[in-house]
């Protein structure tokens, strides 16, 4: 239980950091970064086998953020883990900064440049297949958005992962049900999502993607089935943790005003106070 509380505290601290980055840079993707924070926190502080002092370690687990625009939580976590100095977060989206608005593999800890949706899963399939061919034990994790499921390359990757029985591949969908112009089901309906992935030969697990305890349990027990890639549909709340932003499509890339930022930080601070 103590470990779960520590992870919840860390996720809250990461939310505070990413909001600071977005507020000071006056740009960023707020809603999706807040929704994926719990997922990334569990991956980086509990699940993945990585070494910030040796980011190119051959046996490391690989993470590919296909949902590249929601990068702020990713930068905050990599800095907190020690892949680069925390002070560099102050340069987010500034001229000549490495910390741009999408993952950039000039930054230690980032495997691939991503941003054009639909690329992360096919890349991850290649990495997982390479591990199988080379007899390596590392695992590959990738995070996609739910709006991203409209990309055809996602389903090409899905077929290949099943064909090659890549049970060292774990894909996660940040299922917050909102994309830039509205709800996913209005823009391009994707339900029944779980059944679609099962029909492509994946083992599918659904989870509350903002519940740290559930995430730890599911991610600690992959592959869900030997010989199959695992798909985790993580049902999340866009803007999670900030009441004015939760489930609000307008917060996809909204920058908080001074008053909104101060209120959000106060709200997150209060959440920290009860996590003891």
What are the tens digits of pLDDT across the range 162-176?
Answer: 999 999 999 999 999
Question: Quick one: how many helices (H) and strands (E) in the chain?
Answer: 9, 7
- Alpha helices, H only, 26-99: 30-42, 72-81
For 79-128, what is each residue's pLDDT tens digit?
999 999 999 999 999 999 999 999 999 999 999 999 889 999 999 999 99
- 269, 180, 245: which is closest to 188 by C-alpha? 180
Q: In the chain, where are the structural domains located?
A: 2-274
Q: CA–CA separation, 247 vs 237, rounded Å?
A: 6
Architecture of the 2-274 domain: 3-Layer(aba) Sandwich (3.40)
The whole-number pLDDT of residue 1 equals 81
User: Strand (E) positions, the chain?
Assistant: 62-65, 140-145, 169-175, 178-179, 182-183, 203-208, 230-235
Beta strand 182-183 with 203-208 is unpaired
For 175-223, what is each residue's pLDDT tens digit?
999 999 999 999 999 999 999 999 999 999 999 999 999 999 999 999 9
Q: CA–CA separation, 93 vs 21, rounded Å?
A: 9
Beta strand 178-179 with 182-183 is antiparallel
Q: Tokens 């600690």 belong to which residue?
A: 220
Neighbour order of strands in the sheet with 169-175: 62-65, 140-145, 169-175, 230-235, 203-208
Rounded to 5 degrees, what angle do the CA atoms 268, 269, 273 make? Answer: 115
**pTM of the predicted structure, to 2 decimals:** 0.97
Q: CA–CA separation, 145 vs 81, rounded Å?
A: 24
Q: Tokens 């996809």 belong to which residue?
A: 252
């Amino acid at each position: 239980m103590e470990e779960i509380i520590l992870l919840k505290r860390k996720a809250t601290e990461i939310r505070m950091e990413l909001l600071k980055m977005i507020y000071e840079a006056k740009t960023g993707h707020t809603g999706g970064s807040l929704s994926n924070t719990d997922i990334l926190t569990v991956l980086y502080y509990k699940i993945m086998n990585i070494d910030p002092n040796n980011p190119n370690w051959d046996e490391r687990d690989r993470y590919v953020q296909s949902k590249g625009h929601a990068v702020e939580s990713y930068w905050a976590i990599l800095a907190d883990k020690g892949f680069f100095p925390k002070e560099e977060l102050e340069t987010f989206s500034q001229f000549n900064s490495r910390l741009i608005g999408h993952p950039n593999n000039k930054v230690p800890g980032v495997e691939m440049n991503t941003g054009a949706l639909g690329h992360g899963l096919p890349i991850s399939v290649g990495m997982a297949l390479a591990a199988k061919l080379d007899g390596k034990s590392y695992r590959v994790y990738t995070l996609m958005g739910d709006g991203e499921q409209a990309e055809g390359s996602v389903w090409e990757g899905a077929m290949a992962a099943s064909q090659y029985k890549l049970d060292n591949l774990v894909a996660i969908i940040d299922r917050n049900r909102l994309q830039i112009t509205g709800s996913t089901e209005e823009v391009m309906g994707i339900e029944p999502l779980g059944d679609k992935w099962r029909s492509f030969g994946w083992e599918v697990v659904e989870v509350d993607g903002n519940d740290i305890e559930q995430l730890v349990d599911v991610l600690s027990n992959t592959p869900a089935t030997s010989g199959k890639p695992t798909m985790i549909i993580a049902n999340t709340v866009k803007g999670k943790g900030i009441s004015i932003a939760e489930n609000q499509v307008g917060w996809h890339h909204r920058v908080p005003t001074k008053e909104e930022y101060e209120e959000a930080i106060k709200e997150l601070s209060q959440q920290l106070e009860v996590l003891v």
